[in-house]
Amino acid sequence: MAKPLMKAIGMGVMASLIGIFAVIMGILAIFFFAIIGALIGAATGFILQYVPVLGPLVVHGFELAGIQKPDLVALGAMLGFVGGFFKGNCSHHQCSQS
């Protein structure tokens, strides 16, 4: 009688440990995507600073929005971080139909 009970308890403990590990990996993945998004955004902002027509146009757009002397690298990193942090796995079309 005690042997099947101990086996069930052991399986429950293992299942809970696997669940905790999955949650920790999920949280780490969220921050990994946010950091990668920030790096890509910073690189994009850096490149955008040197594009002749598009760079000044983007800077002017941010100035119209109330951001004086915008740093495109910092803004790109911030937007990339936010985009990576709130990344979803379904497109708008898929999510609206369910």
pLDDT per residue, tens digit, the chain (98 aa), is: 678 888 999 999 999 999 999 999 999 988 898 999 999 999 999 999 898 889 899 999 999 999 888 999 999 999 999 988 887 655 555 565 55
Residue 3 lies inside a defined structural domain of this protein: no
pLDDT at residue 38, rounded to an integer: 92
Please state, in angstroms and rounded to a whole number, the distance separating the CA atoms of residues 84 and 63. Answer: 25
pLDDT at residue 5, rounded to an integer: 86
pLDDT at residue 92, rounded to an integer: 57
Domain count, the chain: 1
Residue 68 lies inside a defined structural domain of this protein: yes
Is 66 exposed, middle or buried, given 0-12, 13-18 or 19+ CB atoms closer than 10 A?
Answer: exposed
Residue 91 lies inside a defined structural domain of this protein: yes
Residue 5 lies inside a defined structural domain of this protein: no
Residue 73 lies inside a defined structural domain of this protein: yes
pLDDT at residue 78, rounded to an integer: 92
pLDDT at residue 90, rounded to an integer: 59
Range of the domain at 87: 30-97
Helix (H, G, I), strand (E, B) or coil at 4: helix
Residue 4 lies inside a defined structural domain of this protein: no
pLDDT at residue 46, rounded to an integer: 93
Residue 23 lies inside a defined structural domain of this protein: no
